[in-house]
């Protein structure tokens, strides 16, 4: 059995070596998150300039600005290779994965690229674009809608390939 030095100290066998970090994939996902969030902030700023906080509601305005801040911070930290960036990016993509509407209630968070397939609520539909959207309520009862954001799903698959900290923990051999 050949032993190699472990990045965390000690020795590990060659077949137990940690997966290498994939910096190009990690940085690509991070840039997508940062650019998508930048687009969302620009859209939100235009929205806030057009309407007053009294029309929007301060809690809602702070909520969507907080959501965009979280997604942008996740991308910056992921770009830097920080563990918190990986976890926050997974959370941000999970929030963007499904879009649900039942009656006048809705759940939709999207900041950046979106490729969605609507699988409930009428015939199958696809939507492709760059979106800045936070929804909890719809204006009318348009029935039940369920959509899956395939772009967020692809980023989640990419995040599953990239280790959470750049160096996977190594267990000492028994």
Q: Is the pLDDT of residue 30 over 50?
A: yes
Q: pLDDT-derived band of residue 65, with 50, 70 and 90 as boundaries? A: confident
State the residue for tokens 């930048």.
38
Q: Which of 146, 34, 45 is nearest to 85 (CA)?
A: 34
Q: Is the pLDDT of residue 60 over 80?
A: no
Entry pTM = 0.73
**If you ran DSSP here, which 8-state letter would residue 16 be given?**
G
pLDDT the model gives residue 168: 42
Average pLDDT for residues 46-72, to the nearest whole number? 78
Average pLDDT for residues 43-67, to the nearest whole number? 76
Average pLDDT for residues 137-149, to the nearest whole number? 78
Q: Give the other-Cβ count within 10 Å of 21's Cβ.
A: 15
Distance of alpha carbon 87 from alpha carbon 101, whole angstroms:
27
Q: Is the pLDDT of residue 79 over 50?
A: yes
pLDDT the model gives residue 170: 41
Helices marked H in the chain: 23-50, 53-56, 58-79, 83-97, 150-161
**If you ran DSSP here, which 8-state letter would residue 162 be given?**
S
Top-confidence residue, 113 or 107:
113
Highest mean pLDDT among 19-23, 25-29, 165-169: 25-29
Of 2-6, 61-65, 73-77, 94-98, which range is least confident?
2-6
Q: Which of 19, 34, 31 is nearest to 166 (CA)?
A: 19
Q: Is the pLDDT of residue 90 over 80?
A: yes
Is residue 79 within 8 Å of residue 164, measured between CB atoms?
no
């Amino acid at each position: 059995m050949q032993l190699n030095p472990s990045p965390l100290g000690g020795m590990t066998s060659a077949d137990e070596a940690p997966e290498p970090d994939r910096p190009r994939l990690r940085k690509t996902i991070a840039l997508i998150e940062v650019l998508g969030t930048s687009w969302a902030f620009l859209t939100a700023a235009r929205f806030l300039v057009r309407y007053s906080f009294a029309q929007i509601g301060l809690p809602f305005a702070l909520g969507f600005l907080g959501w965009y801040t979280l997604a942008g911070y996740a991308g910056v930290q992921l770009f830097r290779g920080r563990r918190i960036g990986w976890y926050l990016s997974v959370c941000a993509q999970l929030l963007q994965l499904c879009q649900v509407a039942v009656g006048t209630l809705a759940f939709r968070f999207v900041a950046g690229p979106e490729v969605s397939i609507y699988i409930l609520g009428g015939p199958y539909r696809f939507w492709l674009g760059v979106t800045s959207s936070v929804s909890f309520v719809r204006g009318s009862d348009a029935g039940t809608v369920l959509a899956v954001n395939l772009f967020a799903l692809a980023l989640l698959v990419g995040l599953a390939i990239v280790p959470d900290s750049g160096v996977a923990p190594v267990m000492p051999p028994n």
